[in-house]
Amino acid sequence: MKIIDLSLPIDEKAFEVHKVSIDRVTHKAGVEKFNRVIMGKTLLGKIKFALGQRILKKSELPDEEFLSLEVVHSPVHIGTHLDYSFHYGSKSEGRPAKTAEEIPLEWCYQDGVKLDFTAKKPNETITATDLEQALKKINYILKPSDIVLLHTGADKLYGSPKYFSDYPGVAVSAIDYLLDRGVKIFGVDTMGIDRPYRFMLKEFLEKKDIQYLYPAHFYGRKREFIHIERLSNLEKLPASGFKVICFPVKIKQTGAAWARAVAII
């Protein structure tokens, strides 16, 4: 058995459109934080702390170290994550949209298939015809619940501004093609399933037509689907013959949730 990591990290040093920060309390600083938190529960404790008293000293700890602590401030759309229908709108298929903690776990552990779209250029979309041709090339017939991974190679741009501007999108026709064959989850190694914002916004401003803004995402209001964004290492996978695991972190009432996506060969 071989496990391949398909996930990108949450990294405060990487270029991101949304703000990401991680507060890091070191092992040395953890001792002081412990004293401040525990003693700060009472007025008398606060006064004693301010006067320099401590209930726990570094010298009393092994190696003079306490526990480290990291506090992550990040949107749920940073790092590899699953989007569900609440992200797309308040309703999907005429019913209240579902949030990420409602994603059925059995959908997140299924046979995977990888389709090659590395020849696609930014501003292009992956269409139903493209899917059909890619499946014929690897002689594969989709079955219900397959997790379909669309390989563009855009993950290699992660950490730079180009990660947000140079990748192909997914057409509504491709989403229909997958859903009509019983696919519950599909994934991309790009930062989103719609074309880069610079193309969508330009066409929207020129033509004053809302259909040019996030058509793939908004389609989730008409048909319910789940997709994985920000995958990586898809080039390490065969076309088929592997399992995908992409269990979402259980966060209440969000449209997306982080996942440590992996493939098992």
CA 47, CA 222: separation in Å to the nearest integer?
Answer: 60
> Which of these, 220, 223, 170, lies nearest to 194 by C-alpha position?
170
Mean pLDDT of the chain: 96
| Topology adopted by domain 3-9+76-264 | Glucose Oxidase; domain 1 (3.50.30)
The residues of the chain that CATH labels 3.50.30.50 are 3-9+76-264
For residue 208, pLDDT beyond 90: no
The sign of the dihedral angle between the CA atoms of 178, 180, 182, 184 is positive
pLDDT in tens, 21-72: 999 999 999 999 999 999 999 999 999 999 999 999 999 999 999 999 999 9
CA distances for 150 relative to 132, 144, 216, 217, 228, angstroms: 13, 17, 15, 16, 10
Mean pLDDT of 155-171: 97
For residue 209, pLDDT beyond 90: no
Q: Which two tokens stand for residue 215?
A: 């058509």
The pLDDT value recorded for residue 212 is 87
Answer whether 0.95 is exceeded by the pTM: no
Contact 188, 168 (CB under 8 A): no
Confidence of residue 207 (pLDDT cuts 50, 70, 90): confident
Pairing of strands 185-188, 147-151: parallel
CA 18, CA 12: separation in Å to the nearest integer?
Answer: 10
Confidence of residue 210 (pLDDT cuts 50, 70, 90): confident
The pLDDT value recorded for residue 154 is 97
pLDDT in tens, 96-137: 999 999 999 999 999 999 999 999 999 899 999 999 999 999
CA distances for 163 relative to 117, 186, 192, 218, angstroms: 16, 20, 10, 22
pLDDT in tens, 221-248: 999 999 999 999 999 999 999 999 999 9
Confidence of residue 155 (pLDDT cuts 50, 70, 90): very high
> Which of these, 120, 115, 152, 153, lies nearest to 137 by C-alpha position?
115
